Amino acid sequence: MSVDGGTEGLFERVYQAVGRVPHGRVTSYAAIAALVTGHRGAARMVGWALHGLPSSREDEVPWWRVINSQGRITISRHPGAAEEQQARLEVEGVRVDRDFRVDLHVYGCGPEDLSPS
């Protein structure tokens, strides 16, 4: 997929929104989509943006805090990605069960919690 100016700007807005997810909390792709585009249905675009995150920004943008709306880490085509995400979340105190599930009632935050101050 080529990244034109519009997509690049949209991806940057995704990265900024993900950067507002607090340490020790998680949010969903749909919540980030709602915040950035106004439509929860744009969740897949958030996944594309995070998949395209430059490696130089992987520690700056807390991608590991974004999970699916069922509270699960999305299993990636990249070997070990789910385990890395689980490890990063657990370092922050987020409990992840053996099915890669996080309790959204305990650790979740929605778009209303992530709006810029």
Q: Where are the domains of the chain?
A: 5-107
Closest to 73 measured CA to CA, from 48, 103, 53: 103
The whole-angstrom separation of Cα 66 and Cα 107 is 11
**CATH fold for the domain made of 5-107:** Arc Repressor Mutant, subunit A (1.10.10)
Phi, psi of 87 (to 5 degrees): -60, -45
- Give pLDDT tens digits for 44-60: 999 999 998 999 999 99
Question: Is-above-0.75 flag for pTM?
Answer: yes
- Give pLDDT tens digits for 4-44: 456 779 999 999 999 999 999 999 999 999 999 999 999 99
Report how far Cα 65 is from the mean position of its chain's Cα atoms.
5
Closest to 64 measured CA to CA, from 116, 100, 13, 11: 100
78 confidence band (pLDDT: 50, 70, 90): confident
